[in-house]
Structure 1
Amino acid sequence: MQVVQQPQRARMCGFGDKDRRPITPPPILKLTVTDSEGFPLKASELDISFLIVLCDVWAADASAKVNLVIHPTAAPMLTPSNSKAAAAAISTSSQSPPGVAGTRANSESSTADNPTPAATRNLIGSLVASAAKLFDTDDQLGIYFVFQDLSIRTEGTFRLGFSLVDIGSPYMRSTNEASSRVLAQAFSEPFTVFSAKKFPGMIESTPLSRAFARQGVKIPIRKDASKTKKDGTAEEGDDE
């Protein structure tokens, strides 16, 4: 599994739901399946209905997941005792098994004597992508996973981690296996999330994004900068 379209930048979306902008360009992964001798199999002949990819956000050095952040308006004043509890909660989430998003952060009850700050997801949007057979810019059929709706609440430098999971294929799961298997993992290159004031703007839509959009994938496509409005002013990245 390979990240064939790397995320480059994003504008932090904070803790509200207004004016949320996705990571740009949208991350895209390509899956190649080989036979026992290492030769690639044709995408057209493969059953991909049981394959999904899960996405998590990681520190820039890929040392730990950073799926959770403390909500600034919900966090109580920290004392030496409950600050340790809050750190432990986030640490537990950051070290979740591969492919499992850290959702346990603060759903576990906190006691009245030892309250912990409320945590919320740092990476939001569509965190799961299903496999799709799509033609690339060279008109070659492949198996892809597209993450067109990902946003990050806080500014900083991050990586995205991706886990390929089989959710029920009878060919990939043994009869005594209780849970889905992680078949492969991949990381994006580091990218920067900017504050609203520092954000340099969305990346122009890539040829691969445009090719997939023409095939029905719901990727936001920016109009060419050369297109102008009737009053003569340039368009500011409106979606087609």
Structure 2
Amino acid sequence: MGTAVRPHRIPISGWQGGQQLADSSGWTYDLEVLQSPERGKALGVEALRRGWPPLTPPLIVQLIVRNEKGEEVETDNATLARRLVHLTMSVELVSPDGTGSRSMMRVRPPSPRGTVQPYYPTSAPPPYSLQRTLLGSSVRTPQILTREGRKGLYFIFQDLIVRPEGRYSLEGKILDLAGPPHIGTSIGVTHPLTYSRTKPFDVM
């Protein structure tokens, strides 16, 4: 792995309910891709077997949180610790330029040759079926890790596997499952706090 990080526990002390609402409403969130996958082995339509190689190297992304003054919020901040409980990052397979989703593919029923020609539709009439193109843990919670002597918030995706051959990118987004501080989840909509996209890579 090209990026060396060391783990720490996310603090759970200092939970004080709604006090965070006034503290973090002006915060901003940025994602920095530290390490992008460069290659992968296509799984095709077969069932995932133990030991199948994931995308390499693993995707590593840093989350940088800044307050309303533009200052970086330290990982030991009590308000940040409360927000981290609800933050997740999810990744999706997209086209190299990020303009099209590649999360699903249309495949024919299994054949003796076991071949597959991926297609990315909005609907799939018979005799086709839909399969997810990205396997593995595509949703992660933040980890507090040390890199170059400083603690930070990181997401590591180390077991992602792609079914069809092709050239792709990974698009990531941060979601606050508790909803915005001034709204919450009562309206039923959670908008991403920020996005990121990796460099293109090949799956063969």
Normalising by structure 1, what TM-score? 0.62
- Paired residues of 1:166 and 1:172 also in contact (CA < 8 A): no
CA distance in 1, matches of 2:96, 2:63: 24
Deviation at 1:8, TM superposition (A): 0.8
The within-5 A match list for 1:22-171 is 22-45=54-77, 46-47=80-81, 48-74=84-110, 90-92=120-122, 115=126, 117-136=128-147, 138-168=148-178, 171=181
Structure with higher Rg: it is 1
Aligned pairs, how many?
A: 162
- Paired residues of 1:3 and 1:28 also in contact (CA < 8 A): yes
Q: What is the Cα-based RMSD across aligned positions, in Å? A: 2.3
Deviation at 1:155, TM superposition (A): 1.2
CA distance in 1, matches of 2:132, 2:94: 12
Secondary structure of the residue that 1:53 maps to in structure 2?
A: strand
Number of the residue aligned with 1:12: 42
Q: State, as a whole percentage, how many aligned pairs show the same letter.
A: 26
CA distance in 1, matches of 2:42, 2:182: 39
Deviation at 1:175, TM superposition (A): 6.2
**Deviation string for 1:30-72 (max 9, x for gaps)?**
0111111211111221221111011100011211001111234
Q: Which has a greater percent of strand?
A: 2
CA distance in 2, matches of 1:173, 1:44: 25
Secondary structure of the residue that 1:32 maps to in structure 2?
A: strand
Number of the residue aligned with 1:177: 187
CA distance in 2, matches of 1:38, 1:150: 34
Normalising by structure 2, what TM-score? 0.72
Q: 5+ unaligned residues in a row in structure 1: which ranges? A: 76-86, 93-104, 195-240
Number of the residue aligned with 1:231: none
- Paired residues of 2:179 and 2:190 also in contact (CA < 8 A): no
Q: 5+ unaligned residues in a row in structure 2: which ranges? A: 1-30, 112-118
Secondary structure of the residue that 1:33 maps to in structure 2?
A: strand
Whether 1:21 aligns to 2:32 is no
